[in-house]
Amino acid sequence: MSRRAPRASIDPDASKSWLRRALPLVKAHRALLITSLTLSFAGLIVQVQIPNLVRVGIDDAVVDRTGELSTYVWWIVGLALAQGFINYLARLYLLRTAYEMEYDLRNIVYAHLVRMPFGFYDRVQTGELMSRSGSDIRAVQMYLSFGPSILVQCLIAVVAFGLMLSINVPLAIVAMVTMPIIGVLGVSMRKAIFPVSWLIQARLAQLATVVDENIQGVRIVKAFAAEGRQLRSLAESADRIRWAYRQDARIRSRWNPLLDNLPRLGLALVLLVGGLMVIDGHTTVGTIVAFNSYILMLQPPFRMLGMMIMMGQRASASARRIYEILDTPSDVVDKPDPIAVPLGGDLAFEDVVFSYPNGTLALDGLNLHVRPGETIAVVGGTGSGKSTLGRLAARFYDVTSGRVTIDGHDVRDLSLASLREQVGIVPDEPFLFSLSIHDNIAYGKPHASREDVVAAAVAAGADAFIRNLPEGYDTVVGERGYTLSGGQRQRVAIARALLVNPPILVLDDATSAIDVTVEQMIHSSLRDKMRGRTTVIVAHRLSTISLAERVVLMENGRVIADGTHESLLASEPRYAEVLAAQVTA
């Protein structure tokens, strides 16, 4: 099935109620929803006819012997079949509506998430995001699609009541007397349960976080032999859930017997009043049987009223959390008429001051000019701002003041897509997807041919090890590429950046896990493959630094010295200090 774009969006007006903001979503699927509601109403209309037919059947064919019993039986069988078929269709359409809405909502949230800048991801926790895009979306979808269906079922109570009134007014009132009580009790039970079920959800989410961390960090847990400690924290989380579940069970076992037995009270009342009326000749036996069926048929909708209120409360809380994401604007966006031109690779930082969203000052008056085709090494103590420099070149963040330019264009004037295509960044801990090596390398250029992928791998020094893998380029790497070594992952990441062939390449300690000879091979093939590429290498190793034509020394978010390795070594004592402190051979 082909992928479709979401049909609706959430109303951006934050002053509206959550339900009104979600209305476009419901409207976009109204045809499906109305079809399902109409079908379910039709099914219920057929359903309410059955007890009436039973009544007439008993009175005519069994008591008075004036009618043919089999005729009524066949009619009832026919109606039951028809109702079954209509209900099947109604359910089908209702579920389709639900999933279509969920699809749209998921896409809306996801589309917003991918547009969010890096600063947003620095702030939020991934576990929280996962929960929002999972259970919250589902809670909203459930209410929007199943809510109207429950309302229709309640509406049928009115129809059934009308039908009962047309048969026997006093008995209809007796039969309905317990229904409002069921409704009120159902609502009260849900109100009592709601805080507990909310607690259960929250504690399940906490448990999921503990489990997730244990699995993600399993290598560290094992390395520190901390399994026992982790198991204890898991048991504590599980214990808190057990407590909440026990409260839930206590409330349910208190309310459910009451709710289950009330209809029986209704049956007894109908038998008493109806029985007396039959004896007095005011009604028929068939009427008692029919009214019994009505009582049993009508109690689920009344019980569901409580469920609907609870679903509404949950959906409202979930919607608020989803809107919180959707209402967070992305500050790193394209200008109205962004420039998208091929870039030459002249990269300049002019008086750049930059603080991360949490307030950490990372660059403090950075001035640096990298000429097209030049290869520079950026060296400096930890936290001196080396990685930040690359992030600003690709506009992962916007500068606080000053400007970053490429070929004289402020990066904020360039289109983000074209900028990111032309500034390739390879981080030191690359992320690989659980796809084949081919697809990982071709991530930035999905339609690249195998030859191009292989050429990029060769340039990144990755071809030989890839060919030795069981299925070569088609080998699927495990989650995050953990089936590969650190150096192999780095080489795949370099190949991924090279395939896009960006005029500016930032290698952020990207060869730290690759051995020196392979690293030299990679750099010489990089030099051969594309002359004129501007390359910024954040380096900690002398071998890496020596590959650059020029070395830039950073301290406290500024360039404090600039020159060749030899000249800096001779003239800048702080360079020698940094090298001595952190640089390895």
Ligand X SMILES: Nc1ncnc2c1ncn2[C@@H]1O[C@H](COP(=O)(O)OP(=O)(O)OP(=O)(O)O)[C@@H](O)[C@H]1O
Question: What is the binding site for ligand X (CB under 6 A)?
Answer: 122, 356, 358, 360, 362, 380, 382-388
Nearer to ligand X, 9 or 543 (CB): 543
Q: Are the CB atoms for 343 and 422 separated by under 8 Å? A: yes
Question: Among residues 72, 81, 77, 79, which one has the least CA distance to residue 54?
Answer: 72
User: Alpha carbon of 449 to those of 197, 455, 469: distances in Å?
Assistant: 53, 10, 20
Question: Shortest distance, CB of residue 361 to ligand X, whole angstroms?
Answer: 8
Question: Among residues 147, 251, 148, which one has the least CA distance to residue 191?
Answer: 251
User: Alpha carbon of 380 to those of 92, 370, 389, 507, 536: distances in Å?
Assistant: 63, 17, 12, 15, 14
Question: Shortest distance, CB of residue 371 to ligand X, whole angstroms?
Answer: 23
In three-state form (DSSP H/G/I as H, E/B as E, the rest C), the secondary structure along 360-410 is CEEEEEEEEEECCCCEEEEEECCCCCHHHHHHHHCCCCCCCEEEEEECCEE
Q: Is the dihedral of CA 528, 530, 534, 537 positive or negative?
A: negative
Nearer to ligand X, 123 or 229 (CB): 123
Nearer to ligand X, 299 or 387 (CB): 387
- Kindly state the tokens that stand for 471: 């299925």
Question: Shortest distance, CB of residue 358 to ligand X, whole angstroms?
Answer: 5
Nearer to ligand X, 283 or 388 (CB): 388
Nearer to ligand X, 307 or 539 (CB): 539
Q: Are the CB atoms for 422 and 342 separated by under 8 Å? A: yes
Question: Shortest distance, CB of residue 397 to ligand X, whole angstroms?
Answer: 9
Nearer to ligand X, 387 or 490 (CB): 387
User: Alpha carbon of 187 to those of 155, 184, 346, 393, 503: distances in Å?
Assistant: 17, 5, 68, 58, 65
- Kindly state the tokens that stand for 203: 């504690």
Nearer to ligand X, 148 or 557 (CB): 557
Contacts of 260 (CB under 8 A, 6+ apart): none
Count the helix, strand and coil residues of the chain and give each as a percent rounded to the nearest 5: 65, 10, 25
Question: Shortest distance, CB of residue 542 to ligand X, whole angstroms?
Answer: 15
Q: Are the CB atoms for 47 and 83 separated by under 8 Å? A: yes
Please provide the DSSP assignment of 69-112 as one string.
HHHHHHHHHHHHHHHHHHHHHHHHHHHHHHHHHHHHHHHHHHHH
- Kindly state the tokens that stand for 274: 């109806």
Nearer to ligand X, 230 or 388 (CB): 388
β-bridge pairing 550-555 and 558-563: antiparallel
Question: Shortest distance, CB of residue 396 to ligand X, whole angstroms?
Answer: 9
β-bridge pairing 375-380 and 361-370: unpaired
Nearer to ligand X, 99 or 396 (CB): 396
Q: Are the CB atoms for 474 and 437 separated by under 8 Å? A: yes
Nearer to ligand X, 17 or 367 (CB): 367
Q: Are the CB atoms for 451 and 462 separated by under 8 Å? A: no
Question: Shortest distance, CB of residue 133 to ligand X, whole angstroms?
Answer: 22
Contacts of 285 (CB under 8 A, 6+ apart): 58, 59, 63, 278
Nearer to ligand X, 153 or 388 (CB): 388
Question: Shortest distance, CB of residue 512 to ligand X, whole angstroms?
Answer: 10
Question: Shortest distance, CB of residue 500 to ligand X, whole angstroms?
Answer: 23
Nearer to ligand X, 228 or 359 (CB): 359
In three-state form (DSSP H/G/I as H, E/B as E, the rest C), the secondary structure along 213-228 is HHHHCHHHHHHCCCHH
Question: Shortest distance, CB of residue 43 to ligand X, whole angstroms?
Answer: 56
In 280-345, which residue ranges form alpha helices assigned H by DSSP?
A: 285-326
Question: Shortest distance, CB of residue 125 to ligand X, whole angstroms?
Answer: 14
Question: Shortest distance, CB of residue 364 to ligand X, whole angstroms?
Answer: 10
Q: Is the dihedral of CA 200, 202, 207, 212 positive or negative?
A: positive
Question: Shortest distance, CB of residue 432 to ligand X, whole angstroms?
Answer: 21
Nearer to ligand X, 372 or 427 (CB): 427
Nearer to ligand X, 298 or 536 (CB): 536
CA angle 567, 528, 524 (to 5 degrees): 55
Question: Shortest distance, CB of residue 356 to ligand X, whole angstroms?
Answer: 3
Between CA 119 and CA 126 the distance in angstroms is 13
